[in-house]
Amino acid sequence: MKLFFLSDIHGSYKYAKQGVEAFFKEKADYLIILGDILYHGPRNPLPEEYNPKEVIRLLNDIKEKIISVRGNCDSEVDSMVLDFPIMADYAFILHNNRKIFATHGHLHNEDNLPSLCSEDILIHGHTHVPMAKQVENIFIFNPGSVSLPKENHPNTYGIIEENKFFIKTLDGKIYMEFDI
């Protein structure tokens, strides 16, 4: 199974569209959204082509392929316009005999690890900074932000396939690669 991870769309139609196009080019099985879908938040600049209504339409069109969690900028009103659930703080996904704990990152992250077994995976967004590492036999990944990357990183998404984690730029080029 091939899993595709997007985080921190923040209402940018331009980057949501590019992310969904990359999802289809990758031929992934599921699109996992790690929160902060429609609203840009008070600490972030207005993202390029900010258009939450078009992001809603774009994502609702592929709702059967989406697994999503709530970010700190997501609200109950957002869940009323999206045709897939977003209000859980995390989702468990089983992949290659490992548990993936998918979350936004504002509650669970490297500094506040959830209860996981050795070799399990924590994947989160929130920081807008791509990262891949292993801490105490737990793999920790952040695919970065598709719309508002920080610290001079490009706009990115993540892929888990077989025993590898990839962070890729929106044109599909590998930015980081990590064996799991």
> Number of structural domains, the chain?
1
- Give the pLDDT score at 41: 82
Question: Residue 131: helix, strand or coil by DSSP?
Answer: strand
- Give the pLDDT score at 113: 93
pLDDT tens digits along 123-163: 999 999 999 999 989 999 999 999 999 999 999 999 999 99
What does pTM read for this prediction?
0.96
pLDDT tens digits along 1-36: 999 999 999 999 999 999 999 999 999 999 999 999
* Residue 111: CA count within 13 A, CB half-sphere: 4
Radius of gyration of the chain (CA): 15
Alpha-carbon distance of 53 to 50, in angstroms, equals 9
Would you state the torsion angle of the CA atoms of residues 178, 136, 1, 71, taken in this order, to the nearest 10 degrees?
Answer: -90
Alpha-carbon distance of 147 to 93, in angstroms, equals 25
Note down the domain range covering 34. Answer: 2-179
